[in-house]
Chain A
Amino acid sequence: MRPFTYERPTSLRDAVALAQSSGAAHVTAPVQYKGGGTNLIDLMKLDVMRPTRLIDITRLEGERLHTVERSEQGVRIGALVPMARLADMADVRRDFPVLTDALWLAASAQLRNMARLGGNVLQRTRCPYFRDTTYCECNKRDPGSGCAAKDGFNRLHAVFGTSDQCIATYAGDWGQALIALDAYVEILSPEGSRSVLFADLHRLPGDTPWIETTLAPGELITGFVVPGGPWPRSKYLKIRDRESYAFANASAAVALDLEGGVARDVRIALGGLATKPWRATKAEAVLRGQLVTEDLAIAAAEAEFADAVAYEHNAFKIPLGKATIVRALMELTEMDA
């Protein structure tokens, strides 16, 4: 690992001031925030991320960074809440199971104790060509160097949102729950705070796969707001190569508002299949206002995957992804909620 200076401010204002730098993108900036560090320290050991200064944000003062607040308007979640803490909140699990499922089905108990939610949504791809610096081609790691995955072993790669420059899968789970529930993300910079739709946080790779989000270098996520709800009839279904402690081959965050079997509202987001958290708007359109049957769920899945693009080894993700949507929908229709 390369040397770095370490700062541990206690005020948000100091943290954001310390983090200003001349980086070209949030993830390549020479100054990085360190929360739990579970992704950052790993990538620094691998020499994939090379910051020269870390700003430890775990001891920042400010109650709202560290707490979960419930109100009529919804749920607000501080960015420094550990994954495990939200996962184990009984009232959130009862009213928004998709928000807690997507956490306890992710990582391991140790990692969930360390990792904070603000960093969780920014976790970087598990593409092996990105994580292993002995491969010289990776546009995400080294802009302009090419993409070894397109013609390499791409079983784990995306079928939605890819480009000629990058086909790496977004690795996270919780982001799918947030995008499905139309959540907002609160962002702080020296100029002040702003709130944007979570759906506008992540970018498609396009011609600049190293610019993964709309965050400017040095901007800090301070919290998330899930408006409305509750969504008791919701879940996160995660399909993996092994039963636990693995990344998704396909996953679905699904929330249903059912009235007499008819979908008054439906939210679907897909994980393990796309280059960013993926809202399945085409599938939702097929289902909204309709009686939810297995045939209709299959039609919805077909609509969403009509323009999926497979590579040499990941074509299995198209039928797997469709089946994941259908199973999640059917389990929700049968749920007591």
Chain B
Amino acid sequence: MTDDDFLAISRRGFLSVSAASASAATMLRPGVAAAQEEDTSALDRQMRQVTLRINGQSRTLNVDTRTTVLDVLREQLGLAGTKKGCGMGQCGACTIHVDGRRELSCLSLAVAAEGQEITTIEGLAGGGELHPMQQAFIDNDAFQCGYCTRGQIMSAIACVQEGHAADDAQIREYMSGNLCRCAAYPNIVAAINQAKTQMGRG
């Protein structure tokens, strides 16, 4: 979408007002206002400007309210490391860190992510060195096709940081949200066991 398109939508009044001013208006006659506005069956697309914090950088973007964090990363920011598997919260390929916790970017709306610190697979390595978990996946051959691997690594780091990597059984339980169609599971468990020591959580 170009800036001209964005301004055109804004001029037509479809751009959502801020929560504060909307609240003030709606408090007057909440039921009537909502019914009139919401009962239109065909709403035009709703654009919003958002500023997201991704891998330590602020990025200001215009997004449709429907846009997921996953699609912003891949389509608008060129951060294609995060993968779209099922797009329905079932496979874990799109796992990212939000304020240090692992979440699914395919079920996260970009408009709802303002003010959160997002970390993707691209944000792990620093100073020319891989994160210990990335290195451990290589050392243990913890993938075949590699499609689920970014999600596996993001999830695995959080699994260790949460304290849910005490033994193989716990690792398997707390990594069950990351499916691997190639079934590299034994090697993924081995990689996490290696990295958790290097991460100081062994």
Chain A residues with CB under 8 A of B64: 3
Q: Are B173 and A244 in contact (CB under 8 A)?
A: yes
Which residues of chain A come closer than 8 Å to B108, judged between CB atoms? 37, 41, 114
Which residue of B has the minimal Cβ distance to A2? B43
* Those of B1-42 within 8 Å (CB) of chain A: 16, 19, 22-23, 26-27, 30-31, 34-35, 37-40
- Per a CB cutoff under 8 Å, which of A13, A52, A113 touches B101? A113
Number of A interface residues, CB 8 Å?
47
For A200, what are the chain B residues with a Cβ–Cβ distance below 8 Å?
none
Q: Is B132 in contact with chain A by the CB < 8 A criterion?
A: no
Q: Is B109 a contact of A110 with CB atoms below 8 Å? A: no
Inter-chain contact A6/B38, CB cutoff 8 Å: no
- Of all chain A residues, the one with the shortest Cβ separation from B41 is A52
Which of A17-25, A135-143, A227-235, A271-279 sits within the interface? A17-25
* Complex CA–CA separation, A88 to B66 (angstroms): 32
A-B contact pairs, 30 of them (CB 8 A): A1-B66, A3-B66, A6-B46, A7-B16, A8-B19, A9-B19, A17-B26, A17-B30, A18-B23, A20-B31, A21-B38, A22-B38, A37-B107, A38-B89, A38-B107, A41-B68, A41-B89, A41-B109, A42-B107, A52-B40, A52-B43, A53-B37, A54-B65, A108-B92, A109-B159, A110-B102, A114-B107, A190-B30, A245-B176, A245-B177
Show the binding face of A for B, using Cβ within 8 Å.
1-11, 13-14, 17-22, 30-31, 34, 37-38, 41-42, 45-46, 52-54, 56, 58, 84, 88, 104, 107-111, 113-114, 190, 243-245
8 smallest beta-carbon distances between A and B, as pairs: A108-B177, A244-B176, A14-B23, A30-B38, A245-B176, A17-B30, A20-B30, A22-B35
